[in-house]
């Protein structure tokens, strides 16, 4: 049973859910993007046990274990499901593999014919069933005070990988596809959107209390393209999820959206907007937090360098967002070269001043 604030339920008690419901708290709740990851020795040991990254994603007991590791170590206020945004394209029929030292590789969708060869959105669940089992395990094993967050990649970001077959510095292949055949590219976005709705809905049914939509490459969209391929799909996904699961809180992360952060949560129906670390917290407090909860936005480099600058920067973020609902987080994922002791220092600073 998910604990989400609705008219028919009592006020949420978990700190993350309280923030998402619009409550300002003296001490903001905290979690980190990629908090289960390679900076932790216990994660590296579990990944070695799994054999490779994809095997870890599809092994529910092990995926749950790495999700729980940072909760045991640090007592974060939320755990985020361990998975990968590219599991959805794999479930839609693309080949997916991870090249050692090079990251993910996919077979590609670069034409209307490739799009037609994809599986329908409703066919994804056989492939993704292990992910839902991971959520069920976590909903049983997490501490009672810890919020469980599910997630998916936003359609534009997922599409950039499906078109290019890999990550690219400027998302050039996806931009070229939409410029050459906007109708087919829009149809690809629609297919991903449909699959994402079903995928996140199944995570909620399995026990996720909050979901987050990661649009890691939203910043490469401008003007009408931002409206059509970042804003509109997020609005459609969130509306569908809230219709199926009334009261479900949703966090949206249109990374590097810049001035388009302003009004984004209101435009898409999100309960919170996550901010990358290029955003000035004072500006965001004035222009974004007025619409509700914000999440962020410490520079992840502080997790590597530590020391007094980490303490000062952490205090500055807390102070900037003190006037409204805030979930403390990094402005992007923690990096593999981070020092676990710096994470502990960040949490101590947040909670003890």
The one catalytic residue in 24, 44, 84, 301 is: 84
Question: At 74, which CATH number?
Answer: 3.20.20.210
The one catalytic residue in 24, 38, 44, 351 is: 38
Token pair for 164: 């290019």
299 assigned to active site: no
On whether residue 3 sits in a domain, the answer given is: no
**Average pLDDT in the chain:** 96
Token pair for 214: 């990661």
The contacts of residue 32 (CB under 8 Å, 6+ apart) are 70, 76, 329, 330, 333, 334, 343
283 vs 155: CA distance, rounded Å: 28
On whether residue 6 sits in a domain, the answer given is: no
Q: Domain count of the chain?
A: 1
On whether residue 2 sits in a domain, the answer given is: no
pLDDT tens, 260-288? Answer: 999 999 999 999 999 999 999 999 999 99
From residue 328, give the alpha-carbon distance in Å to each of 38, 99, 203, 315: 21, 33, 24, 11
Read off the pTM: 0.95
On whether residue 41 sits in a domain, the answer given is: yes
pLDDT tens, 141-200? Answer: 999 999 999 999 999 999 999 999 999 999 999 999 999 999 999 999 999 999 999 999
pLDDT confidence of residue 7: 37
On whether residue 7 sits in a domain, the answer given is: no
181 assigned to active site: no
The one catalytic residue in 43, 58, 161, 199 is: 161
261 assigned to active site: no
161 assigned to active site: yes
Closest to 350 in 3D by CA, of 328, 331, 330? 328
80 vs 83: CA distance, rounded Å: 9
On whether residue 4 sits in a domain, the answer given is: no
Are 92 and 191 within 8 A, CB to CB?
A: yes
Token pair for 341: 């002791």
Closest to 243 in 3D by CA, of 287, 272, 201, 273? 201
105 assigned to active site: no
pLDDT of 5 strictly over 60: no
- The residue range of the domain holding 34 is 16-352
On whether residue 8 sits in a domain, the answer given is: no
**Would you state the torsion angle of the CA atoms of residues 256, 258, 262, 263, taken in this order, to the nearest 10 degrees?**
-50
On whether residue 5 sits in a domain, the answer given is: no
What is the rounded end-to-end Cα distance, in angstroms, of the chain? 35
Backbone angles phi, psi at 152, to 5 degrees: -155, 160
């Amino acid at each position: 049973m998910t604990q989400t604030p609705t008219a028919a339920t009592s006020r949420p008690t978990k700190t993350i859910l309280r923030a998402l419901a619009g409550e300002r708290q003296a001490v903001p709740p905290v979690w980190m993007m990629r908090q289960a990851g390679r900076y932790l020795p216990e994660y590296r040991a579990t990944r070695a046990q799994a054999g490779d990254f994809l095997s870890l994603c599809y092994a529910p007991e092990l995926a749950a274990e790495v999700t729980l590791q940072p909760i045991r170590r640090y007592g974060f206020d939320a755990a985020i499901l361990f998975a990968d945004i590219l599991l959805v394209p794999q479930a839609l029929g693309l080949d997916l593999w991870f090249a050692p030292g090079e990251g993910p590789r996919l077979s590609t969708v670069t034409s209307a014919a490739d799009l037609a060869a994809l599986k329908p959105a409703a066919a994804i669940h056989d492939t993704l069933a292990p992910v839902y089992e991971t959520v069920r395990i976590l909903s049983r094993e997490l501490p009672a005070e810890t919020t469980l967050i599910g997630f998916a990649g936003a359609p534009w970001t997922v599409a950039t990988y499906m078109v290019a077959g890999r990550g690219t510095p400027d998302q050039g292949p996806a931009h070229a596809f939409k410029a050459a055949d906007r109708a087919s590219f829009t149809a690809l976005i629609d297919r991903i959107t449909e699959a994402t709705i079903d995928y996140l809905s199944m995570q909620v049914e399995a026990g996720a209390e909050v979901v987050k939509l990661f649009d890691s490459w939203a910043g490469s969209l401008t003007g009408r393209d931002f409206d059509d391929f970042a804003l509109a799909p997020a609005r459609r996904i969130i509306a569908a999820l809230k219709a199926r699961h009334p009261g479900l809180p949703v966090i949206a992360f249109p990374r590097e959206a810049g001035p388009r952060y302003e009004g984004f949560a209101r435009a898409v129906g999100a309960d919170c907007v996550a901010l990358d670390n290029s955003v000035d917290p004072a500006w965001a407090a004035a222009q974004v937090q007025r619409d509700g909860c914000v999440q962020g936005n410490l520079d992840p480099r502080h997790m590597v360098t530590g020391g007094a600058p980490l303490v000062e920067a952490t205090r500055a973020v807390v102070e900037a967002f003190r006037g409204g609902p805030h979930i403390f987080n990094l402005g992007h994922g923690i990096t593999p070269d981070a020092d676990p002791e710096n994470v502990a220092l960040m949490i101590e600073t947040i909670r003890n001043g």
